[in-house]
Chain A
Amino acid sequence: MSEGVSQPDRPEPREGDGKDLFSKFDDVIAMREGLLARGVEDPFSLVMEQVLSPTRAVCNGRDTILLGTYNYMGMTFDPDVVEAGKQALADFGSGTTGSRVLNGTYQGHKDVEDALREFYGMDHAMVFSTGYQANLGIISTIAGKGDYIVLDIDSHASIYDGCKLGDAEIVPFRHNDIEAMEKRLKRIPEGAGKLVILEGVYSMLGDVAPLKEMVRIAKENGAMVLVDEAHSMGFIGDNGRGVVEDAGVMDDVDFIIGTFSKSVGTVGGFCVSNHPKFEIMRLVCRPYVFTASLPPSVVATACTSIRKLMHGSNKRAHLWENSRTLHAGLKKLGFTLGTEEPQSAIIAVIMPDLEQGAGMWEALIKNGLYVNLARPPATPANMTLLRCSLCAEHSEEEVSQILDIFERAGKLVGII
C-alpha cells in the first residue's frame, strides 16, 4: 500500500496576523479528524495507482472493482475513442491555450458540437470546459437580477452556484414535489422572467424527476425550462437522450445541460437548445469566454464517444440488467436503498450514520470494491450514503462478486 495515502493533514493553530480566514472550516476539520482518529482509511484521499479498465483499478495498492465512477457506458478504454484522442494529440498538439471566442476553437470543437446536435436532434450546441461551467455559465447568463429561478431543493452544487452568480431570485421547492413547484411558480410577480431548473436523474439517490408533469406545468406558467441530464445521457430514453426523451418532453424543454465526464468518458460540459437566439451565448457567457477551451484530444475522444453512444442500445440493455440485478441483490441482503425500484444506473445504499458509513466504506475497499461515500451536507436529509454507479462493462460475474463483498462487509460492520 502507498505510504501516506490514509494520513490526514494535521493542521497546527496559526499565530498572529489577525483573524484566520480558515477558522470557518474548523467544524469540517474537526469532523474529519474525529473520523480518522478511529483508524478508518480516509474515504476522501483514495489514489488509483493504475487503471486497468472502466471497471478495474489498483487503489491504495489493491486490485479493486470500480463501482463509483459514473463511467456508465464504459467508454474510457474504447479503442476507437482512445485512437481518436491519440490522433488529435499528434495532429493538433496538447492544448489550445485560448478561449473559444479567440484562438481556442479548433475543427474538433466544431465536430463535437455537430455530434451533440445530432445526438439530441437540436439546433444549437455549445461546449464548455466542464459540466460545472456549463451550469454556471448558462444559468448565470440567462437568469439575472429581477428574474426568478424555481428549482428542486436537491439540485447540484453547480446549479446553485450558477443561480448565485447570476443574482436572480432563487426559489427552491421540496424534492420532486410537483404541487410545491406549481404553487411557487404561480406566486411569482407578473412580468418577471421565470426559469425552472430540474435534473433528469438526481445523483444522490439515483431517482428520476417526474418531468412529464413538471415540464407541462412550467410551460403553462410561462417559464423556460432547463434540465440537467448529466446522469442519464447515453442510457435513458430510446436514443439515450435522457429522462426528457423517456418522458416525451424533448420539444418542450428549452435547455439541456450535460457533461462529457460521465457516459461520454472524458471531461467537458455542454448545453443544447432550440432557442433561436442561442448563439449569442458564445459572446455573453463569461464562464465560456474567460477560460481556455478543451484540449484537442479531449474533444476528439468526446466526439467519437458521442457518435458511438448513438448506437449503444446493446450496452444500454446490459447496463439496465446490471442495475436491476444489483438493486434486487442488495435489497435481498437487507440493505436500505435510496429507491424502491432501480430508476437509473445509480443505486444508493443508505447508512445508519456517518461512522458506520465510513466503516462500511473501509470494509468494502479492503475487500476490493470502490463506491462513493456521500455525506452531509452534500446529501439530502443529511443522510450518509454509499453510492454505487454501475457500468455497462461490469460483467454479470462482477456484479455477483460485488454482492458477495457487500454481504461480507455488511455483516462485519453489523449493518445487515
Chain B
Amino acid sequence: MDRAAVDAKIRELAEPFNKKGIEIKEDTTFAGDLEFDSLTVMDFVAAIEDEFDIIISMNQQAEIETYGQLVDAVHKQQADR
C-alpha cells in the first residue's frame, strides 16, 4: 500500500473520533488540534492496529504528535511486514 492509500484509510478511521469535524492536515496534532484524550487515543490506535494488522506501542505513540507522523509510521510498518 502506498502512502496515499494509507493516508486515505487512516483518514476514514479517524472520522468517528473527530467529533468537531476539524479539517485534518499533515501538521494537525492529536492532543492539541483534535483534543484526543487518552481513551480516544486508545480506541483510535486499536482501530488502526486492527486495520493494518500492526502494533503501535505506547513508546511509538509518544513519538507521534501530528497526523503526518502517524501516516509515516503506519506506512513504514506495513511496508516492512
A153 neighbours in B (Cβ, 8 Å): 42
Of B37, B46, B59, the contact of A169 (CB 8 Å cutoff): B59
B52 to chain A, nearest CB (A): 10
Q: Is the interface of B mostly helix, strand, loop or mixed?
A: helix
Given A377-B38, A382-B39, A180 contacting B58 (CB threshold 8 A) = no
A170 neighbours in B (Cβ, 8 Å): 57-59
Q: Is the interface of A mostly helix, strand, loop or mixed?
A: mixed
In the bound complex, what is the Cα–Cα distance between A412 and B38 (angstroms)? 34
Q: How many residues of A contact B (CB 8 A)?
A: 17
Instruction: Count CB-based A-B contacts (< 8 Å).
Output: 34
For B50, B57, B59, which residue has the most chain A Cβ atoms within 10 angstroms?
B57
A177-193 contacts to B, CB under 8 A, are: 180, 183-184, 187-188
Given A184-B49, A187-B49, A171 contacting B55 (CB threshold 8 A) = yes
Are B55 and A184 in contact, with the CB atoms below 8 A? yes
Are B57 and A171 in contact, with the CB atoms below 8 A? yes
Kindly report which residue of chain B lies nearest to residue A188, judged by CB atoms: B55
A375 to chain B, nearest CB (A): 14
In the bound complex, what is the Cα–Cα distance between A183 and B52 (angstroms)? 12
A194 to chain B, nearest CB (A): 12
Contact with A along B38-69 (1 / 0, CB 8 A): 11001100100110011101111000000000
Binding site for A on B (CB under 8 A): 37-39, 42-43, 46, 49-50, 53-55, 57-60
Binding site for B on A (CB under 8 A): 148, 153, 163, 169-174, 180, 183-184, 187-188, 377, 381-382
4 tightest A-B CB contacts, nearest first: A170-B58, A169-B57, A187-B55, A171-B57
